[in-house]
Structure 1
């Protein structure tokens, strides 16, 4: 795996060693960093609130922007309440920590992100999500009176695959279930508006909790937890939430004012996805993708150096552990132009591993 250190922000073109590379990596699905109006909103937010706010959310002087974002996000997602944290990893970590204290047992999906996994918990990487779901159903009918926490990503970004949780309806009603869904790669892409999948799963026979990063599609360095009054109360009364510094307030203010920009970028991304998947149209049997999601992976490794030779830089690194083999992925973004997608299609159809 070759690293490419650069001294500037990332966009659709990456200058490196005297050559421009078309960039198909990262998690900036909506391409917000390439929108001047969004950058201006961030600058205005910093001018209003300062570069950072290091005090506890519970100090005697409080910034109103945090509660405003929580209320807007909860309303948009169709959730009762929300809790804003400084990162998606912290949101996931705090949520699973509280669930582990409440639950008799924890079941984690094979692709669950490390942020939502208990310490030393190792899901079976060879197990499919379908096999995991069936196993949960079977185990649920073997116990009674248990409180069970089920942990999963909304999306497997490695396959890729969008997960369906309707199978939770088949769990035994003799237990109490908490379903934690990590929406880090769903915010801005899936579900209700830019607000993720909470509304899609809130009618399941489980206490639904959604947590995740706002720093990917939404480009806000923060994390959020969505849930009912009881659980969000536990989050906000925890020592971690009370003791940690909150998110940078200027970015939060920018988020509150960027609704039209997010909608615009969603439309651009959707158009790019439709155009690319129409171009590729199963012309390469070496690709894996879901046309509803802007990530494409390969059935075989080794694509990254081949594409780099053709001027295309994709995602390629060991994940989630350093000893794992590198995973090659193509990521589409709203900032891509049709000529980028055409070039990518040309290279893919004329390359084999």
Structure 2
């Protein structure tokens, strides 16, 4: 007689206990204040937060709050339908035109999140028998988009353009799509985009760049990773998110006009979802203006990055080589990373510990993210506390 299958309820309890034992269980913290370096938690305690992606400090900017209020007064709080039904307003249309012009593309299409953009774009461009070539450290949304497309997925070692070239040469797929983060969210490094574009041109492939962490920060006036390298091509498809440096919510895809028209007709995560509230489109129009005018913010952010890197000269833990606001401090062991995060928390500093599967096994780290809203004094406090903790670590 076959053994009785375990009760799924019991299995969940066991599996959660295993996550605890491995130092991999995740829990939410409840914030009781707006997104800003000075954070108040639900219990009334305060922290200096080094964990948001609000790189330019726009999430609580008074100009954006005013734009949101005016947008709500004009539009209400919901769009009421999908964009292709009745949920597309002049505010949405103006935002797409502004984003296309700002990033240097013919047209743009807005999505409610970056995740929805990536899982919509990739299946619309490639399918069975085609091929996707993806950096091994790409964001989960790019991995899921590739899997949903049902194209053959080829993953190349992080940043290894030579390996990618060999994969492309060996492929006989009729349609090829190269996908990469512009700035990698856990390492903070910038993809070798000029060489990726060269390969896309040589092999007649699309190049989709997820610039969630580059838009607003890199390039002239914050126009992103492609502008940082001065890249233009009809083979480029650019995805930027609007809840990080832009400080609001949503995402967009920019490309040549016929690509955007195709996505409007074929991207399921665009077609089959309610449009974002138009008040957010009005707010984002103001946010793009602040990004464009934000050279002083970016200069201050750059100075903070350099100050952190100059100060964190440690013996056992090490900063990864990043010039972006994402500054990963690799600890190694899951439990030690959690212990350091707890010690920082007790010192009034909020820095998250990132563990597998988000990062490779053995590379648990503190993901320090800096914002133009941070002060020099706050960064110095973080540096001195980390140096003290590492000095007392076993």
Give the TM-score band, short-chain normalised: 0.7 to 0.9
Which structure has the highest helix share of the two?
2
Pairwise mapping of residues 329-340 of structure 1 onto structure 2 (< 5 A)? 329-340=367-378
The runs of 5 or more residues in structure 2 that have no matched partner are 1-25
TM-score (norm 2): 0.79
Pairwise mapping of residues 11-90 of structure 1 onto structure 2 (< 5 A)? 11-16=36-41, 17=43, 19-59=45-85, 62-90=88-116
Q: What is the aligned-residue RMSD (CA, Å)?
A: 3.0
Match of 2:219 in 1: 191
Match of 1:138 in 2: 166
Give the SS at the match of 1:211. Answer: strand
Range that drifts further, 228-237 or 145-154:
145-154
Match of 2:117 in 1: 91
Pairwise mapping of residues 313-332 of structure 1 onto structure 2 (< 5 A)? 313-318=350-355, 327-332=365-370
What is the deviation of 1:276? 4.6
Structure 1 323/314 Cα, relative in aligned 2: closer, same or farther at 3 Å?
same
Structure 1 271/138 Cα, relative in aligned 2: closer, same or farther at 3 Å?
same
Range that drifts further, 263-272 or 155-164:
263-272
Match of 2:383 in 1: 345
The CA distance in 2 between the partners of 1:56 and 1:108, in whole Å, is 31
What is the deviation of 1:170? 5.1
Structure 1 70/320 Cα, relative in aligned 2: closer, same or farther at 3 Å?
farther
Structure 1 72/308 Cα, relative in aligned 2: closer, same or farther at 3 Å?
same
Match of 2:190 in 1: 162
TM-score (norm 1): 0.87
Question: Which residue, out of 23, 35, 47, partners 1:10?
Answer: 35
Question: Which residue, out of 245, 250, 269, partners 2:274?
Answer: 245
What is the deviation of 1:51? 0.7
Give the SS at the match of 2:222. Answer: coil
The CA distance in 1 between the partners of 2:238 and 2:128, in whole Å, is 17
Range that drifts further, 16-25 or 275-284:
275-284
The CA distance in 2 between the partners of 1:8 and 1:242, in whole Å, is 34
The CA distance in 2 between the partners of 1:163 and 1:343, in whole Å, is 31
Q: Does structure 2 conserve the Cα–Cα contact (< 8 Å) formed by 1:201 and 1:208?
A: no
The CA distance in 2 between the partners of 1:304 and 1:345, in whole Å, is 14
What is the deviation of 1:227? 0.9
The CA distance in 1 between the partners of 2:380 and 2:230, in whole Å, is 37
What is the deviation of 1:281? 1.2
Give the SS at the match of 1:32. Answer: coil
Match of 1:227 in 2: 255
- Larger RCO, structures 1/2 (Cα 8 Å, 6+ apart): 1
The CA distance in 2 between the partners of 1:61 and 1:152, in whole Å, is 31
* Count of residues paired in the alignment: 349
Pairwise mapping of residues 216-295 of structure 1 onto structure 2 (< 5 A)? 216-238=244-266, 240=268, 241-263=270-292, 267-278=296-307, 280-281=309-310, 283-285=312-314, 286-290=317-321, 292-295=323-326
- Does 2:161 align with 1:129? no
The CA distance in 2 between the partners of 1:266 and 1:173, in whole Å, is 33
- Does 2:355 align with 1:297? no
What is the deviation of 1:32? 1.2
The CA distance in 1 between the partners of 2:379 and 2:352, in whole Å, is 16
What is the deviation of 1:332? 0.6
